[in-house]
């Protein structure tokens, strides 16, 4: 990794410095701050993909600043794996997922089912899967579909709703929750 011009520390060095601290994630535009009082000024995302076998566990925000290299890693991880295309994920979506994860108070990472989708992938899914939106937030790299083994869809949905920071869809029959950084709204799929 390259050295940071402002601090002289590498990203890996920053991760080491903060490894022993309390890790936090919160949407930048929501009421989640009350949940995070005294938790520090660090945001972390932890996910794995059953489809690609990849995982990510990274601090992507420190002291009021997103870490561009970490967000690039997140965008790569959340790419459209079917088309192998990457689009920069909206960091607000990452914030919502990270905050919901923190509220669930667990060590298990989210399983990512879908992040960014190309128009071609979204069209294919619309043909084969009920409930896929024509103008999906996934196409804009502003949504994530996640699940956990240790928590129910209702528990994940409640945590995401508590963030009051975007759209939250509950898909109980398919065992996942949709989170996006669009307008605040909820639905059952």
| Gyration radius from the chain CA atoms | 16
pLDDT at 130 over 90: no
Residues with Cβ within 8 Å of 5's Cβ and at least 6 positions away in sequence, in order, are none
pLDDT at 94 over 50: yes
CA 13 from chain centre, in angstroms, equals 23
How would you classify residue 61: left for phi > 0, otherwise alpha for psi between -120 and 50, otherwise beta?
beta
pTM for this predicted structure: 0.78
Residues with Cβ within 8 Å of 17's Cβ and at least 6 positions away in sequence, in order, are 9
Residue range 94-100: mean pLDDT, rounded = 95
pLDDT band with cut points at 50, 70 and 90 for residue 131: confident
How confident is the model at residue 134, as a pLDDT? 83
Closest among 94, 100, 129, 134 to 115, alpha carbons compared: 94
pLDDT at 29 over 50: no
- Higher per-residue pLDDT: 157 or 22: 157
pLDDT band with cut points at 50, 70 and 90 for residue 21: very low
DSSP notation for 40-67: -SEEEEEEE-TTT--EEEEEEEETTEE-
Strands 143-147 and 110-114: antiparallel
- Whole-number Å distance between alpha carbons of 76 and 65: 20
Residue range 41-45: mean pLDDT, rounded = 90
- Whole-number Å distance between alpha carbons of 124 and 78: 18
- Whole-number Å distance between alpha carbons of 188 and 159: 15
- Whole-number Å distance between alpha carbons of 42 and 23: 6
Phi/psi at 60 (5° precision): -115, 0
- Whole-number Å distance between alpha carbons of 18 and 119: 38
- Higher per-residue pLDDT: 29 or 175: 175
Could you report the per-residue pLDDT of 57-91, keeping only the tens digit for each? 999 999 889 999 999 999 999 999 999 999 999 99
pLDDT at 11 over 80: no
């Amino acid at each position: 990794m390259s050295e940071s011009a402002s601090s002289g520390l590498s990203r890996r060095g920053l991760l080491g410095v903060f490894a022993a601290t309390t890790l936090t994630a919160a949407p930048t535009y929501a009421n989640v701050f009350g949940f995070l009082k005294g938790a520090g000024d660090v945001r972390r995302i932890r996910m794995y993909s059953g489809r690609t076998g990849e995982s990510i566990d990274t601090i992507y925000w420190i002291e009021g600043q997103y870490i561009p290299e970490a967000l690039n890693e997140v965008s790569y991880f959340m790419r459209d794996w079917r088309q192998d295309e990457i689009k920069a994920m909206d960091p607000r979506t990452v914030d919502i997922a990270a905050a919901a994860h923190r509220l669930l108070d667990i060590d298990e990472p989210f399983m990512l089912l879908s992040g960014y989708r190309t128009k071609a992938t979204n069209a294919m899914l619309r043909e084969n899967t009920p409930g896929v939106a024509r103008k999906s937030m996934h196409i804009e790299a502003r949504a994530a579909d996640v699940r956990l083994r240790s928590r129910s869809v209702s528990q994940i949905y409640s945590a995401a709703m508590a963030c009051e920071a975007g759209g939250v869809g509950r898909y109980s029959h398919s065992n996942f929750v949709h989170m996006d950084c669009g307008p605040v709204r909820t639905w059952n799929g």
